[in-house]
Amino acid sequence: MSDLLLSSALPSGARHAAKLGAVRAFTEQLAAPLSAEDQTIQSMPDASPTKWHLAHTSWFFETFILRSYAPRYSVFDPAYEYLFNSYYEAVGPRHPRPQRGLLSRPGVDEIMAYRHYVTSAMAALLEIQAGPAPWDDLVELGIHHEQQHQELLLMDIKHALSMNPTSPAYLSSAPAYPPPPVPMEWIGFEGGLVGIGHENAGFSFDNEGPRHRVWLEPFALGSRLVTSGEYLAFIEEGGYRRPEFWLSAGWERVNALDWRAPLYWHKSVDAWQVFTLFGNRPLQAAEPVCHVSFYEAAAFAKWTGKRLPREAEWEVAAAKAPRRGNTAETGLFHPSAASQPGLVQMIGDVWEWTASPYVAYPGYREPAGAIGEYNGKFMANQMVLRGGCAVTPPDHVRTTYRNFFPPDARWMFGGIRLAEDLT
C-alpha cells in the first residue's frame, strides 16, 4: 500500500477506508492456507477457531459501527450477535468461549460471505464521509482490534496444529536457520524521574495512558533476547526440578502440568525438536526462546542471578532503541536471532514478559459503554508483556503498547529479556 493512501493529509474516511481494506485482506490471506476443517477446530479453551476470528472481527464492525451509523443497514444474521460476541456483557449474552469449536455451522463459506457483507457496508459508510465523523475513533479501534486477532489467529492455529500427531505445517516454506547470536551486552540506564505512557499522538488503546511520571533507580537491560541455547542450559542444570528458582504458584503449575521445557519443545532420541508454523524442526540455539510462561521466565532470570524488567524500565529503554524488528510482514512467523550489537529486538520476535502486574495507570478511566470492557475489566491476575512478536503486524505495535496474559499462559509468543539493578 502506498504512503499516499495512508497519509494523514487525506480525509479520515479515505484514510480509514484504505487501511481497513488492507487489514481485512491480510486477515483473509492468513486464513487462506487453512482448510475448512482446520478453521473449525478449537484445541483449548483459551484459543479460538480461525473461522471464529474471521466472524468476530466482522461482528465488531457490525455491532459498534454499522448498526448505529450506517443508513438502512440490515444485520447479516441476528444469530451472529450471540455466536460471535466475545466478552461484551453490555451487548448481551454470548456463546460460551470453551465451546466455540463445537460450532460446525455457520461454515467457512457463510462466514466469508458475512465478512464481505460487512466490509462492503463499511466501505460504503466511509465513502460518504466528508469530514470528521462520530465513528472515526471506533473505526480505528476496530482496525487495531482486527490486527490483534490476526496475531491470535496464528497463535491459535499453531496450537491446534501442534495437537495433530502428524505435526502438519501451516506453511511449507520454512525460514532459514539463524546465524550465531551476537554476544549479550548490558545496556545501562540512569533512571530518575521519567515519563511513560502514550502521548496522544496517533492511535493507542485506552490502557496505554494517561502519560504519567515514575521514578526509576539505575538499571541495565540485556542487549538482546534470551536464546533457546541459553534456556536449554537452564533445563540441563535441573531448572524444572529445583524449587528455589520458582515462585510458589509457578512451582505448583510446573508439577501439576508436568512442565519440563517450553511449550512445543520435545526431545526425539537425543535431539530437541521444536514445533513451528512450518512443522517440526531441530532446536536452533541462536533463536530467542519462545512459548514460555511468566513463571518460567522469572525462574530462568533467577537462575541467572538477574531479574525481569519492570514495564517502565522496558518502555524507557525501548524509546532509545532501533524500531526495526521481526514482525508479521517478514513472513517468518518465527523468532529470529539477533544479528547486531547494541540494544536490539525490542520490537518483534517475542512478546517480552515484564515483572509488572497489569494494573491501571494513575488517572486511568474506562471509556463509557460496552467499549469500556475492552481492556479495563481484565486488570487483575495478569502480567504485562511488551514489544510485539514475529506474528504481530508491524504498524500495530508501539513502545507504549501493554499486552497482558495470565502468568501461566504459554501458547502466545512469550519470551525473555533480562534486567539487573545498578545500585
Mean pLDDT of 367-376: 90
SS (H, E, C) 350-363: CEEEEEEECCCCCC
- pTM value is 0.95
* pLDDT for residue 200: 84
Tell whether the model's pLDDT for residue 314 goes beyond 90: yes
**CA distances from residue 401 to 42, 149, 210, 335, 354 in whole angstroms, order as listed:** 28, 15, 12, 19, 13
Residues 6+ apart with CB under 8 A from 233: none
- 12-162 against 186-421: fold identical: no
Mean pLDDT of 287-292: 98
Structurally, at CATH architecture level, domain 12-162 sits in Up-down Bundle (1.20)
In eight-state DSSP terms, residue 167 is -
Hey, what CATH class is 186-421 in? alpha beta
pLDDT in tens, 76-97: 999 999 999 999 999 999 999 9
* pLDDT for residue 6: 37
* pLDDT for residue 346: 97
Q: Contact 242/248 with Cβ under 8 angstroms?
A: no
Most confident of 1-15, 121-135, 244-258, 264-278: 244-258
Element (H, E) at 256: helix 248-257
List the domain boundaries for the chain: 12-162, 186-421
* pLDDT for residue 9: 44
Mean pLDDT computed over every residue of the chain? 94
* pLDDT for residue 2: 31
Residue percentage of the chain with pLDDT more than 70: 97
* pLDDT for residue 129: 84
* pLDDT for residue 11: 57
3-state SS assignment for residue 212: strand
Mean pLDDT of 197-225: 96
Mean pLDDT of 194-198: 97
* pLDDT for residue 3: 32
Residue count of the chain: 423
Measured distance CA(299)–CA(353) in Å, rounded: 12
Tell whether the model's pLDDT for residue 7 goes beyond 50: no
* pLDDT for residue 1: 31
